[in-house]
Amino acid sequence: MDAVSISVVPEERAGMATGIFITTRVTGEAIVLAAAGMPATLAQSGWRNSRGPASLLEQVASSPAAISPGPRFSSPA
């Protein structure tokens, strides 16, 4: 597929065509990976047994971990 995408453009634009093709391919893979992982994440979070996304957000907001400020780091002097 790389060769096909490069063969249809002039030689002086082959680098640009490669960059566009690779960026598009990686973006597509990221979207597919996110879509494939979404059902597992929702099943693990108990989304099916709750009242929907609003309930899930309420659960996250009410957990102590969601409101704790986390570790504090001092800035270097």
- Tens digit of pLDDT per residue, the chain (77 long)? 667 777 888 888 888 888 999 999 999 999 999 988 888 877 776 655 555 555 666 666 666 555 555 566 565 65
11 vs 46: CA distance, rounded Å: 53
* Residue 74 placed within a domain: no
Q: Report the domain count for the chain.
A: 1
Q: Is residue 75 part of a domain?
A: no
Position 45 in a domain: yes
Residue 29 lies in a domain: yes
Structural domain that includes position 29: 2-64
Residues ≥6 apart with Cβ < 8 Å to 47:
53, 56
43 assigned to some structural domain: yes
Distance linking the first and last C-alpha atoms of the chain: 53
Q: What is the distance between the alpha carbons of residues 9 and 24, in angstroms, rounded to a whole number?
A: 17
* Half-sphere exposure of residue 58: CA atoms within 13 angstroms, side-chain side: 8
Residue 35 in domain: yes
